[in-house]
Amino acid sequence: MPSSPSTAQTDPTARSAAIEEAANVFKALGHEGRFLILCHLAQGPKSVGELEGMLDARQSAVSQQLARLRIEGLVTARRDGKTIFYSLKDPRIGELLICYARIFGNEDRRDL
């Protein structure tokens, strides 16, 4: 779990790690496909098939972006039979997306 804000402010190593973590999150959000996936996952777990339909994208493209998000530590996967459901790993990402919606004019979280 990330360090507390007060620890990150006083410990240069923790501060550096927090900055690196934030930069990695923003890099992931910098890709439109990954950003949209995270917006949909902020509403709850989704399967690859559900995300395909929501994004109007091929399964291979969605799976590739989900793999990248897993590597970055932003999503987790849970298998239910043959279906894999993805969800946000860190609730702070959902909070960040809510801030995005507020700043860019989308007040209704369901429309992220």
d(CA 47, CA 1): 26
- Is the distance from CB of 88 to CB of 75 less than 8 angstroms? yes
At residue 1 the predicted structure's pLDDT band, cuts being 50, 70 and 90, is: very low
Domains and CATH numbers, the chain: 32-111 (1.10.10.10)
pLDDT, one tens digit per residue, over 9-65 is 578 888 888 898 888 888 888 889 999 999 999 999 999 999 999 999 999 999 999
What pTM was computed for the model? Answer: 0.76
Separation in Å, CA 83 to CA 14, 28, 46, 75, 78? 38, 24, 10, 16, 8
In this prediction, residue 63 carries a pLDDT of 94
